[in-house]
Amino acid sequence: MNSLLRLLSDGRFHSGEELGLALGVSRSAVWKYLQRLESDCGLELFKVPGKGYRLAEPLSLLKYEDSFAVLARFGWRLYLRETTDSTNAEALRLLQSGVPAPFVVMAEGQTAGRGRRGREWASPPAQNIYYTLALKVLNGLQGLSGLSLVVGLAVLSALRRSGVEGVGLKWPNDVYADGRKIAGILVELNGDPADACHVIIGIGVNVNMRPSSLSIGQPWTTVREQTGGLASRADLAHFLSESLHHYLDRHSREGFSSLREEWEASNIWYGRDCVLSTGAQQIKGVMNGIDEQGALRLWIEGRGEQCFSGGELSLRLDHDS
């Protein structure tokens, strides 16, 4: 299927005979593959007698050789999948099978993409970035302090290099552009966090996704919408790898406190009335920023400032204020 996508990705017409020869299959097999592209991948195809088939618009596909070369500079292996359930799940399977970290898993599409707190992550094929970095953390809790916020800075930097303006960070794991979500981060641990463990850093970036067939329960945007043209997923993946290496290396050497000021400079909800969800409890307060470990500082009427951290916390604006 990936080979067919690459042939059609230029957005030009290709005859069934041409596609069959390139793929080494019959024209009837080509027709079946094309039907799968429409039904399984949600891609729109134009079929014109005498001309052949073309996608409604060009695609930007990932490039294994280029991504491999970028990651090799950092000593990171690359596993590029056509489709997987989720890149985080695939990274965990690779770790469990004995593949040593660090390595990166990327995919053209996901069948069961997920965000924080078990939420579904929209993952249409060949439209977004689905990226997971698996690392071994040797310095325990110190190496994990503020980690998801550091990854947010890396994503922010990569988006800016791709031409996206007006991007900012929402505590603890989201990147926004023009007041709407453009990227999310899911950090998962494998092993004992007080000792040596593996951390699985999942990143999803909305790149060229179209809104027509998608139902997403919050305002969102894409690199394409923000820049006004088809974005290169391959270039963005390269920028992301370079930014991750830079920020994670600095975090490892200097700790999160060295990056706190930079994170605060892009904190889009500073001073806003917010609601913090901690499981069944809802806490209202004013977002006062973050502390030296990346914990949320929330000013609560009658209680003063309190700090919160943890994987199951969720912050949203208080629209009743």
CA angle 203–175–268, rounded 5-degree value: 160
Residue partners of 274: CB distance under 8 A and separation at least 6 = 284, 285, 286, 287, 298, 315, 316, 317, 318
Cβ atoms within 10 Å, residue 46: 12
Find all residues with CB under 8 Å of 173, minimum gap 6, and list them. 116, 148, 152, 184, 185, 186, 187
Q: 86 labelled as ligand-binding?
A: yes
Q: Using CA of residue 282, residue 287, residue 288, residue 292, what is the dihedral sign?
A: positive
40-48's contacts with Cβ under 8 Å and 24+ in sequence apart are 41/1, 41/5, 41/109, 41/124, 41/125, 41/126, 42/124, 42/125, 42/213, 43/125, 43/126, 46/13, 48/13
Residue for token pair 């926004």: 176
**Location of structure tokens 């099978």:** 97
- Note whether 103 and 91 are within 8 A (CB): yes
Annotated binding residue 181: yes
The response to whether 143 counts as a known ligand-binding position is no
State which H helix or E strand residue 109 sits in: strand 103-110
Q: Which of 116, 224, 233, 260 is catalytic?
A: 116
Known binding residue 215? Answer is no
Task: Check if 136 is active-site.
Answer: no
Q: Is 114 annotated as contributing to ligand binding?
A: yes
Please identify which of the residues 12, 47, 93, 316 carries the catalytic annotation: 316
Does the annotation count 181 as an active-site position?
yes
- Single out the catalytic residue among 63, 170, 181, 260: 181
221 is in an annotated binding site: no
Concerning whether 116 is annotated as a catalytic residue, the answer is yes
Q: Is 110 annotated as a binding residue?
A: yes
24 annotated as ligand-binding = no
Positions at the binding site for biotin: 86-88, 110, 114-116, 181
Active site positions, annotated? 116, 181, 316
Positions at the binding site: 86-88, 110, 114-116, 181
